[in-house]
Every structure is written in structure tokens, then in C-alpha cells.
Amino acid sequence: MITRFAPSPTGPLHLGHAYSAMLAHDMAMAANGTFLLRIEDIDSSRARPAWETQIYDDLMWLGLRWPEPVMRQSERQAVYQDRLVTLWKKGILYPCSCNRKDLLSAASAPQEGAPLVGPDGLIYPGTCRHLHDRSGPFPSAAVLRLDMEAVDLALAKSVGDVVLARRDMGTSYHLSVVIDDAAQGVTDVVRGADLLDATPIHTLLQNLLGLPTPRYHHHDLIRDENGKRLAKRDDARALSKYRTEGATPNDIRRLVGLPEQ
Ligand code: GLU
């Protein structure tokens, strides 16, 4: 069994991340398997080296260990581009030149009623879907969407044409996570219920790219005393804060309802 924890270094880890990481770690250890850490830093406008360092410190403090070197998505642009070219050659991607304003105004046009929102945000109204020749060379600097109607009618309705290559990134969360879970041989993905709706998008991409589908385990989210789920900006529950206040890793395990070690 291979599990992984795949944080983005865009803020401090909080109790919810600790829960996810420890669950994935404990599951691998119980099966005599391997727990991996992967840094999901494709968004260079938000990722910071200092947050990445703090991720290593926090997880080490929790008692988690993982093989080195750690996979960092910012170093894998060539792999993502290669798989995008594969999808492009199938004729199921198209370049999109809509900006945020275009999307909002198209989605709220009077005859359309309220904007339709799916798990990936606004459901794309399809403005650019048939504007471009798909048989030309791969458009490497473009925003690329997946033509969902061509591959999955149910997801076309509920999610729409997801972006697989974001502006200035050459990839997206959905594409990178699927490619890297397969590249690392991850057998069991352990992650929060907030990503439940992303899983059908991931299994679709695995099918399109000929990659295996791991087992998915979605855990409950850790909530604050008001029942609100913790967000990156909730510094109040940052792991480092508990650490500097003298808590122990077993205190954190108790707080999130995991057996002590
Ligand atoms: N990198 C994602 C995040 O920070 C998690 C990816 C996943 O577990 O699939 O929320």
C-alpha cells in the first residue's frame, strides 16, 4: 500500500491537515506500506518556500517520516505538458480566452437564470468550445479546457468543461494530482470530504490517460467549535501554534480523534 499527503505550501498547516496526514500515514504503516509526501506548488503566485519548510517541520514534529526526495510539482512541468499533448491529440481539449468577467456575464445572462455552479466553480457556458481548430499544433501557452460533452455527459451537466491548463501554469490541480498519484504508484488516496466532488473528474482523467484508479478514502472535515470547517487562513488552529504552546503530537491526535502512539 502506498498513501500520500499532498499539501500546497500556501499557508500554515492546521488541525485538518494534521488529521489527513496522520490518517494516510497510519493507514500505510498498519499495512506495512509506504507513506509519501508531495508538495503541490503549481501556483507560483501563492506558494512560498517558507510555508514548504514549515510543512516539513510540522510533519516531522508530528512523528511522520517519508522517503526522500519529496516530489515537488513545480519541477514537473514537462510531464504535465506531455500528457496535455496526449489529450490534445485526442481532440478533446480546446483553448479558452474568456476572462473572469466574460464568465460571470455569460453565466448570469437573463435568459439563463442564476449562474450554475459545480464543484469546480461556475459551470463554463461553452463560449470558446467550438471557436478553434483542434487539429492544429498544440497551443502551449493557452488556457485549455476539457470538452466534457465529448467524454462524459453526466459530468458535462454537473461540472462542465474543467480547465486542465491554467493561465501561466501549464497545468491544473486536477491534471497534476492524477498524473502524480499514478507516477508515484499511490494505491490509496486519503483526503478530506471537501474533495469528494473532484474524484469523478479524477477517475475520468485516469481513464482518458490510461492510468490506474487508486482507492479513494474521503474523511470527515475537522471543524471549529461553531461547526465551520478550518481554512488555511484560520491561523488560530495552525499546528505550529499548538507546537509553540507546548502541545505534544499525542495531544494533536487526541484533538482530532485519532488513537495515540
Ligand atoms: N493539494 C491539495 C490541497 O492542498 C490536496 C490534493 C489531494 O489530496 O488530492 O488541498
Tens-of-pLDDT digits for all 261 residues of the chain?
A: 999 999 999 999 999 999 999 999 999 999 999 999 999 999 999 999 999 999 999 999 999 999 999 999 999 999 999 999 999 999 999 999 998 888 877 766 655 555 577 777 888 989 999 999 999 999 998 999 999 999 999 999 999 999 999 998 999 999 999 999 999 999 999 999 999 999 999 999 999 999 999 999 999 988 877 777 776 666 668 999 999 999 999 999 999 999 998
How far, in Å, is the centroid of ligand 1 from the Cα of 179?
13
User: How long, in residues, is the chain?
Assistant: 261
Atom of ligand 1 nearest to the CA of 181: 9
Q: Using most ligand atoms within 8 A of CB, pick from 173, 176, 178, 179 the residue to mutate for ligand 1.
A: 173
Could you give the count of Cα atoms lying within 13 Å of 203 in the half-sphere of its Cβ? 12
What is the C-alpha to C-alpha distance for residues 7 and 160, in angstroms, rounded to an integer? 26
How far, in Å, is the centroid of ligand 1 from the Cα of 188?
14
Report the pLDDT value the prediction gives residue 115, as an integer from 0 to 100: 55
For β-strands 144-146 and 93-95, DSSP reports them as antiparallel
How far, in Å, is the centroid of ligand 1 from the Cα of 197?
13
Residue (of 17, 45, 27) closest to 168 by Cα position: 45
Q: Using most ligand atoms within 8 A of CB, pick from 42, 71, 177 the residue to mutate for ligand 1.
A: 177
Report the pLDDT value the prediction gives residue 74, as an integer from 0 to 100: 97
Atom of ligand 1 nearest to the CA of 198: 9
Report the pLDDT value the prediction gives residue 119, as an integer from 0 to 100: 77
Report the pLDDT value the prediction gives residue 101, as an integer from 0 to 100: 84
- Does 195 sit in the ligand 1 pocket, CB within 6 Å? yes
- Structure pTM? 0.93
Domain extent listing, the chain: 2-75+223-256, 77-165
Q: Contact at 8 Å (CB) between 57 and 224?
A: no
Residue with CA nearest ligand 1 atom 3: 7
How far, in Å, is the centroid of ligand 1 from the Cα of 137?
32
How far, in Å, is the centroid of ligand 1 from the Cα of 177?
8
For β-strands 93-95 and 71-72, DSSP reports them as unpaired
Buried b (16+ CB within 10 A) or exposed e, 139-158: beebbbbbbbebbbeebbeb
Cell of 197: 466532488
- Does 6 sit in the ligand 1 pocket, CB within 6 Å? yes
- Does 7 sit in the ligand 1 pocket, CB within 6 Å? yes
Report the pLDDT value the prediction gives residue 232, as an integer from 0 to 100: 63
Atom of ligand 1 nearest to the CA of 7: 4
Cell of 191: 483526503
How far, in Å, is the centroid of ligand 1 from the Cα of 49?
17
CATH value of 2-75+223-256 in 3.40.50.620, 3.40.30.120, 3.50.50.60, 3.40.50.970 = 3.40.50.620
Report the pLDDT value the prediction gives residue 118, as an integer from 0 to 100: 79
Atom of ligand 1 nearest to the CA of 4: 8
